[in-house]
Chains A and B, each alone.
Chain A
Amino acid sequence: MNLEKYILAVITTNKDKVAAGTGVFYCDSKQEMESVTANLEAILDGIAHGLSDELYVIVKH
Chain B
Amino acid sequence: MTEFTLPIAFGIFTGTFSRLLMLRTDYRQYPTYLHGKIIHVALGFIASGLGAVFGPAIIQEEYTAITFLTVAASQFREVRNMERNTLTELDNYELVTRGKTYIEGIAIAFESRNYLVIFTSLVSTLAYLLFNIWIGIIVAIASMILSHYLMSGGKLKEIVDIEYVEPRFDGAGLYVDNIYIMNIGLPERQKEVLRYGMGFILKPKSFNARATIANLGQRQAILHDVSTALGVYRDSGTPALVPLAKRDLDDGRVGVFVLPQDRDIEKAIKVIGDVPTLENAIRMSTEKVGMKHES
Contacts A34-B186, A34-B188, A41-B186 given: A47-B171 contact, CB under 8 Å? no
A15 interface residue, CB < 8 Å from B? no
Contact B188 A49 (CB under 8 A): no
Q: How far is the CB of A57 from chain B (nearest CB, A)?
A: 8
Contacts A49-B172, A50-B171, A50-B172 given: A61-B239 contact, CB under 8 Å? yes
Contact A37 B237 (CB under 8 A): no
A1 interface residue, CB < 8 Å from B? no
Residue of chain B at shortest CB distance from A56: B185
Which residue of A38, A51, A61 is within 8 Å of B186 (Cβ)? A38
Q: Which residues of A contact B184 (CB under 8 A)?
A: 47-50
Contact B239 A37 (CB under 8 A): no
Most buried by B among A45, A47, A51: A47
Contacts A49-B172, A50-B172 given: A34-B240 contact, CB under 8 Å? no
Contact B237 A45 (CB under 8 A): yes
Q: How far is the CB of B254 from chain A (nearest CB, A)?
A: 20
Could you say which interface size class chain B belongs to? 10 to 19
* CB under 8 Å from chain A, chain B span 221-250: 237-240
B187 interface residue, CB < 8 Å from A? yes
User: DSSP class of B's interface residues: helix, strand, loop or mixed?
Assistant: loop
Contact B239 A47 (CB under 8 A): yes
Residue of chain A at shortest CB distance from B172: A50
Q: How far is the CB of B85 from chain A (nearest CB, A)?
A: 20
Which residue of B183, B237, B238 is within 8 Å of A50 (Cβ)? B183
Residue of chain A at shortest CB distance from B238: A42
Q: Which residues of A contact B155 (CB under 8 A)?
A: none
Q: How far is the CB of B25 from chain A (nearest CB, A)?
A: 33
Q: How far is the CB of A41 from chain B (nearest CB, A)?
A: 7
Contacts A34-B186, A37-B186, A38-B186 given: A48-B240 contact, CB under 8 Å? yes
Q: How far is the CA of A41 from the CA of B192 in the complex (A)?
A: 15
Q: Which residues of B contact A41 (CB under 8 A)?
A: 186, 189, 240
Q: How far is the CA of A48 from the CA of B182 in the complex (A)?
A: 11
Q: How far is the CA of A54 from the CA of B152 in the complex (A)?
A: 54
Q: Which residues of B contact A56 (CB under 8 A)?
A: 185-186
Contact B188 A42 (CB under 8 A): no
* CB under 8 Å from chain A, chain B span 157-205: 171-172, 182-189
Q: How far is the CB of B240 from chain A (nearest CB, A)?
A: 5
Q: Which residues of B contact A34 (CB under 8 A)?
A: 186-188
Known: A49-B183, A50-B172. 11 other contacts (CB 8 A): A41-B186, A47-B183, A47-B184, A48-B185, A48-B186, A50-B171, A50-B184, A50-B185, A50-B186, A51-B172, A56-B185
Residues of chain B at the chain A interface (Cβ within 8 Å)? 171-172, 182-189, 237-240
Residues of chain A at the chain B interface (Cβ within 8 Å)? 34, 37-38, 41-42, 45-51, 56-57, 61
Q: Which 3 pairs, one residue from A and one from B, show the smallest C-beta to C-beta distance?
A: A50-B185, A50-B172, A48-B185
